[in-house]
Amino acid sequence: MVEAYQRRSALNHFGLAARANQGGHATAGVILGESAHRTIINIRGDANDAAFTNAVKSVTGVDVPTKANTVNKAGEVSILWLGPDEWWVVTTPDRSDELVPALRQAFQGQHAAVIDVSESRTVITISGAKARDVLARGISLDLHPQVFGPGQCAQTGMSKCNVLLHQTDDKPSYDIYVLKSFSDYLWQWTEKIATNFGLAIGA
Protein backbone atom coordinates (compact mmCIF):
# COMPACT_ATOMS: atom_id res chain seq x y z
CA MET A 1 0.00 0.00 0.00
CA VAL A 2 1.16 3.54 -0.75
CA GLU A 3 2.32 5.52 2.27
CA ALA A 4 -0.68 7.56 3.34
CA TYR A 5 1.22 10.86 3.42
CA GLN A 6 2.42 10.42 -0.19
CA ARG A 7 -0.91 9.31 -1.54
CA ARG A 8 -2.91 11.41 -3.97
CA SER A 9 -6.45 10.70 -5.05
CA ALA A 10 -7.12 9.85 -8.68
CA LEU A 11 -8.96 13.16 -9.17
CA ASN A 12 -6.47 15.24 -7.18
CA HIS A 13 -5.47 17.27 -10.25
CA PHE A 14 -8.96 18.79 -10.53
CA GLY A 15 -8.42 20.69 -7.25
CA LEU A 16 -11.79 19.63 -5.86
CA ALA A 17 -11.04 20.61 -2.27
CA ALA A 18 -10.41 24.23 -3.29
CA ARG A 19 -13.51 24.30 -5.49
CA ALA A 20 -15.66 22.90 -2.69
CA ASN A 21 -15.22 26.19 -0.84
CA GLN A 22 -16.72 28.23 -3.67
CA GLY A 23 -20.25 27.58 -2.40
CA GLY A 24 -23.45 27.44 -4.43
CA HIS A 25 -24.56 24.30 -2.64
CA ALA A 26 -27.97 25.71 -1.65
CA THR A 27 -29.11 26.38 -5.22
CA ALA A 28 -27.22 23.60 -7.02
CA GLY A 29 -29.18 20.87 -8.77
CA VAL A 30 -26.22 18.51 -8.60
CA ILE A 31 -23.35 18.18 -6.12
CA LEU A 32 -20.33 16.24 -7.33
CA GLY A 33 -17.35 15.10 -5.29
CA GLU A 34 -14.74 12.43 -4.83
CA SER A 35 -14.57 9.98 -1.96
CA ALA A 36 -11.01 8.73 -2.32
CA HIS A 37 -9.00 5.83 -0.91
CA ARG A 38 -11.94 3.77 0.29
CA THR A 39 -11.16 0.27 1.45
CA ILE A 40 -12.65 -2.17 -1.07
CA ILE A 41 -12.21 -5.90 -0.52
CA ASN A 42 -13.51 -8.40 -3.04
CA ILE A 43 -14.77 -11.61 -1.42
CA ARG A 44 -16.00 -14.76 -3.09
CA GLY A 45 -17.67 -17.77 -1.55
CA ASP A 46 -20.83 -19.82 -1.27
CA ALA A 47 -23.73 -17.80 0.16
CA ASN A 48 -25.61 -21.03 0.92
CA ASP A 49 -22.80 -22.19 3.21
CA ALA A 50 -23.41 -21.00 6.76
CA ALA A 51 -19.68 -21.27 7.52
CA PHE A 52 -18.99 -18.62 4.85
CA THR A 53 -21.77 -16.22 5.84
CA ASN A 54 -20.94 -16.58 9.54
CA ALA A 55 -17.27 -15.89 8.83
CA VAL A 56 -18.10 -12.67 6.96
CA LYS A 57 -20.50 -11.58 9.68
CA SER A 58 -18.00 -12.27 12.47
CA VAL A 59 -15.27 -10.15 10.83
CA THR A 60 -17.31 -7.30 9.35
CA GLY A 61 -20.44 -7.28 11.49
CA VAL A 62 -22.55 -7.26 8.32
CA ASP A 63 -24.76 -9.97 6.81
CA VAL A 64 -23.84 -10.99 3.27
CA PRO A 65 -26.61 -9.72 0.95
CA THR A 66 -28.03 -12.63 -1.02
CA LYS A 67 -30.65 -10.62 -2.92
CA ALA A 68 -29.32 -9.41 -6.27
CA ASN A 69 -28.28 -5.75 -6.57
CA THR A 70 -28.59 -4.95 -2.85
CA VAL A 71 -26.31 -3.59 -0.13
CA ASN A 72 -26.20 -4.43 3.57
CA LYS A 73 -24.69 -1.87 5.91
CA ALA A 74 -23.81 -1.82 9.59
CA GLY A 75 -21.82 1.03 11.07
CA GLU A 76 -19.01 2.01 8.71
CA VAL A 77 -18.99 -1.26 6.74
CA SER A 78 -21.13 -2.01 3.69
CA ILE A 79 -21.28 -5.21 1.69
CA LEU A 80 -22.27 -4.75 -1.96
CA TRP A 81 -23.67 -7.59 -4.07
CA LEU A 82 -21.70 -8.13 -7.29
CA GLY A 83 -22.83 -11.59 -8.32
CA PRO A 84 -24.26 -14.83 -6.93
CA ASP A 85 -20.92 -15.70 -5.30
CA GLU A 86 -19.09 -12.36 -5.24
CA TRP A 87 -19.27 -9.24 -3.05
CA TRP A 88 -17.36 -6.10 -2.12
CA VAL A 89 -16.71 -5.22 1.49
CA VAL A 90 -16.46 -1.43 1.45
CA THR A 91 -15.45 0.82 4.33
CA THR A 92 -13.43 3.87 5.36
CA PRO A 93 -9.82 4.24 4.11
CA ASP A 94 -6.85 2.23 5.37
CA ARG A 95 -8.66 -0.75 6.86
CA SER A 96 -7.37 -3.41 4.43
CA ASP A 97 -4.38 -4.29 6.59
CA GLU A 98 -6.74 -5.26 9.36
CA LEU A 99 -9.70 -6.75 7.45
CA VAL A 100 -7.96 -8.79 4.73
CA PRO A 101 -5.95 -11.03 7.12
CA ALA A 102 -8.99 -11.35 9.40
CA LEU A 103 -11.19 -12.49 6.51
CA ARG A 104 -8.52 -14.90 5.22
CA GLN A 105 -8.22 -16.38 8.70
CA ALA A 106 -12.00 -16.73 8.98
CA PHE A 107 -12.25 -18.44 5.56
CA GLN A 108 -9.62 -21.07 6.33
CA GLY A 109 -10.59 -24.48 4.96
CA GLN A 110 -13.33 -22.99 2.75
CA HIS A 111 -13.54 -22.59 -1.01
CA ALA A 112 -13.46 -18.80 -0.71
CA ALA A 113 -11.27 -15.87 -1.76
CA VAL A 114 -10.31 -12.46 -0.39
CA ILE A 115 -8.68 -9.83 -2.62
CA ASP A 116 -7.89 -6.24 -1.67
CA VAL A 117 -8.95 -4.04 -4.62
CA SER A 118 -8.92 -0.69 -2.78
CA GLU A 119 -6.25 0.84 -5.00
CA SER A 120 -8.05 -0.05 -8.23
CA ARG A 121 -10.95 2.33 -7.92
CA THR A 122 -12.03 5.73 -6.81
CA VAL A 123 -15.55 6.88 -6.00
CA ILE A 124 -17.32 9.80 -7.65
CA THR A 125 -20.18 10.96 -5.43
CA ILE A 126 -23.22 12.59 -6.99
CA SER A 127 -26.28 13.91 -5.18
CA GLY A 128 -29.02 16.48 -5.48
CA ALA A 129 -32.45 16.86 -7.04
CA LYS A 130 -31.04 16.62 -10.59
CA ALA A 131 -28.60 13.75 -9.96
CA ARG A 132 -30.90 11.28 -11.75
CA ASP A 133 -31.04 13.52 -14.83
CA VAL A 134 -27.24 13.54 -15.03
CA LEU A 135 -26.96 9.77 -14.60
CA ALA A 136 -29.70 9.16 -17.16
CA ARG A 137 -27.47 10.69 -19.84
CA GLY A 138 -24.98 7.87 -19.47
CA ILE A 139 -26.72 4.92 -17.81
CA SER A 140 -29.38 2.71 -19.36
CA LEU A 141 -30.77 1.51 -16.01
CA ASP A 142 -34.18 2.67 -14.81
CA LEU A 143 -33.35 4.83 -11.76
CA HIS A 144 -36.95 5.79 -10.94
CA PRO A 145 -37.42 5.69 -7.14
CA GLN A 146 -40.01 2.92 -7.47
CA VAL A 147 -37.43 0.70 -9.17
CA PHE A 148 -34.03 1.72 -7.80
CA GLY A 149 -33.76 3.14 -4.30
CA PRO A 150 -31.43 3.55 -1.33
CA GLY A 151 -29.57 0.36 -0.47
CA GLN A 152 -29.50 -0.86 -4.04
CA CYS A 153 -26.45 -1.23 -6.25
CA ALA A 154 -25.80 -2.27 -9.83
CA GLN A 155 -22.83 -2.86 -12.03
CA THR A 156 -23.46 -1.28 -15.39
CA GLY A 157 -22.00 0.92 -18.09
CA MET A 158 -21.87 4.70 -17.67
CA SER A 159 -20.81 6.61 -20.76
CA LYS A 160 -18.65 3.71 -21.95
CA CYS A 161 -17.04 3.08 -18.50
CA ASN A 162 -17.80 0.03 -16.39
CA VAL A 163 -19.05 1.31 -13.05
CA LEU A 164 -20.73 0.13 -9.90
CA LEU A 165 -23.58 2.44 -8.94
CA HIS A 166 -24.79 2.46 -5.33
CA GLN A 167 -27.67 4.64 -4.15
CA THR A 168 -26.89 5.69 -0.58
CA ASP A 169 -29.93 7.84 0.30
CA ASP A 170 -33.10 9.31 -1.18
CA LYS A 171 -31.89 12.90 -1.75
CA PRO A 172 -30.90 11.07 -3.98
CA SER A 173 -27.19 10.40 -3.47
CA TYR A 174 -25.14 7.88 -5.40
CA ASP A 175 -21.61 6.49 -5.19
CA ILE A 176 -20.07 5.70 -8.57
CA TYR A 177 -17.18 3.25 -8.25
CA VAL A 178 -14.93 3.52 -11.29
CA LEU A 179 -11.47 2.28 -12.21
CA LYS A 180 -8.90 5.00 -11.48
CA SER A 181 -7.67 4.92 -15.08
CA PHE A 182 -11.19 5.82 -16.27
CA SER A 183 -11.92 8.31 -13.51
CA ASP A 184 -10.38 11.38 -15.22
CA TYR A 185 -12.57 10.85 -18.28
CA LEU A 186 -15.69 9.97 -16.30
CA TRP A 187 -15.29 13.01 -14.03
CA GLN A 188 -14.96 15.36 -17.01
CA TRP A 189 -17.96 13.79 -18.70
CA THR A 190 -20.10 13.95 -15.55
CA GLU A 191 -19.06 17.52 -14.76
CA LYS A 192 -19.88 18.63 -18.29
CA ILE A 193 -23.40 17.18 -18.07
CA ALA A 194 -23.93 18.39 -14.50
CA THR A 195 -23.11 21.98 -15.52
CA ASN A 196 -26.46 22.02 -17.36
CA PHE A 197 -28.32 21.43 -14.09
CA GLY A 198 -26.45 23.82 -11.75
CA LEU A 199 -23.27 22.28 -10.36
CA ALA A 200 -21.54 22.61 -7.01
CA ILE A 201 -18.52 20.65 -5.79
CA GLY A 202 -18.94 18.77 -2.54
CA ALA A 203 -16.17 18.41 0.01
Partner 1 sequence: MFLITCPYCGARDEHEFGYGHEAHIVRPTPAEYEQMSDAEWAQYLFMRKNPKGVHFERWVHTKGCRRWFNVARHTVTHEILAVYEMGKPAPQIDTEKK
Binding site for partner 1 (CB under 8 A): 68-69, 82-84, 86, 140-141, 154-157, 162
List helix spans (H) across 5-71: 16-20, 50-60
Query: Angle, to 10 degrees, between the axis of helix 96-106 and the axis of helix 50-60?
Result: 150
Smaller CB separation from partner 1, 102 or 141: 141
Smaller CB separation from partner 1, 14 or 174: 174
Distance CA 158, CA 118 (A): 20
Smaller CB separation from partner 1, 9 or 53: 53
Minimum distance from residue 129 beta carbon to partner 1 (Å): 25
Minimum distance from residue 91 beta carbon to partner 1 (Å): 22
Strands 71-74 and 77-83, how do they pair? Answer: antiparallel
Report in angstroms the alpha-carbon separations of 49 from 41, 54, 145.
20, 9, 33
Smaller CB separation from partner 1, 69 or 190: 69
Distance CA 172, CA 46 (A): 33
Distance CA 2, CA 37 (A): 10
Minimum distance from residue 96 beta carbon to partner 1 (Å): 23
Smaller CB separation from partner 1, 28 or 154: 154
SS3 content of the chain, % helix, strand, coil (to 5): 30, 35, 35
Smaller CB separation from partner 1, 112 or 154: 154
Minimum distance from residue 84 beta carbon to partner 1 (Å): 5
* Residues 5, 6, 9, 13, CA torsion sign: positive
Minimum distance from residue 66 beta carbon to partner 1 (Å): 11
Question: Residue 187: CB partners within 8 Å, gap ≥ 6?
Answer: 11, 14, 32, 34, 124
Minimum distance from residue 103 beta carbon to partner 1 (Å): 21
